[in-house]
Amino acid sequence: MTGNSMRIETRLREMGVELPLEEVGPSYYGTKYGKMKPHYEYGQLLLLSGQTAGIDAQGNARFPGRVGRSISVDDARQAARQTGINCIAAIKNAVGDLDRVVGFARVLNFVACDVDFTEPHRVASAMTDFLVDVFGEEIAVAPRATIGVTSLADDYCFETWITVEVAPPSGSA
């Protein structure tokens, strides 16, 4: 973390990335799938609920389908990148200042895919690459696993579950 407040938000602006308002505000789309909260803080760890590419203006899943069957690897990679954007928005919602992110402690990815598709890591790497572009390699590269699954809620092709280490707010002891 640097003493330069707003470094990450400046980087996002430079990249032309706008955080989705539904993820920054109080309305977490995940509650559509059952009782859950968007995040939980445990000491310096921030545990995010499952994140996806989100929903479109009509309330439908973005990038639906199964990789190797009804959605291309390239489109699934776009879903993974959008999921990374939504993760950053969720972190901002939880802790306010993205510059408090010290590291990504754990990432577990799920890729909905055909049984013959054996490269779900290629999809997940798009999210990792995006997070590295935003936070840098030292912070964004995490212990990671990617699992190919037969389906995800609402036919999403990609979902992730992330644990982030955050520094205490400035001025706290």
Determine the Cα angle at 104 with ends 103 and 105, to 5°. Answer: 105
pTM: 0.91
Q: Are strands 101-112 and 144-149 parallel, antiparallel or unpaired?
A: parallel
Tens-digit pLDDT profile for residues 86-133: 999 999 999 999 999 999 999 999 999 999 999 999 999 999 999 999
Confidence band for 27, pLDDT divided at 50, 70 and 90: low
Encode pLDDT of 28-70 as tens digits: 666 677 788 889 999 999 999 999 999 888 888 999 999 999 9
Residue in the structure block whose two tokens are 């609402």 = 154
Considering only CA atoms, which of 167, 157, 13 is closest in space to residue 82?
Answer: 157
